[in-house]
A and B are shown apart, each in its own frame.
Chain A
């Protein structure tokens, strides 16, 4: 699976949009982009995934660039409860989900 690069940490003001970037410049055509998050003392939680098209669900939006070399997870109105470590994972079908160190997002009042 392709390697991903994420910033170590980010801050966001409460009520504003949180935009979390992820670089995956070696992604191949059949690799999906997954996002999970992990709130302190809990297990990771699935957020969203996509292949080529942008995706949106009740939690977030996933924007994948046309060349698929990077993506952005958008939390439209961040709350204090969105403070967590966010993992971007690139995975081809029938391969295991492998986590990196992620981005620690802190939402501030």
Chain B
């Protein structure tokens, strides 16, 4: 099966600019996750979707971050405006259901200058 696809692979922006990341999960996977990973640390959960519904967004900084999963398939994560501290790798993962193993994409590495 094709894996989780994320784009872009790398993104460099100036602070205060907007940025968006895209994720295409594995076909048939109902659960989708966005994680943030800082250098030298493990991934941290930002938001989880069950189909098109965001069921856990407690860790998402809602003042500048937003996410959507239209039609319960692809998802986008947006930051507006970006800050220097947002520089990190943004990982998308999907699973067949909530209790199935997660499959991760290779992430988008964001650098905010």
Contacts and interface: CB of A to CB of B under 8 A. Distances in A.
B104 A45 contact: yes
Contacts of A44: 43, 91, 93, 102, 104
A77 interface: no
The SS class assigned to the A binding surface is loop
Contact of A43 (B41, B45, B93): B93
Interface in B4-34: 4, 33
The SS class assigned to the B binding surface is loop
A70 B44 CA distance: 23
Contact of B56 (A41, A87, A96, A100): A96
Given A49-B101, A93-B99, A97-B102, A43 B91 contact: yes
Given A41-B106, A42-B106, A43-B106, A101 B101 contact: no
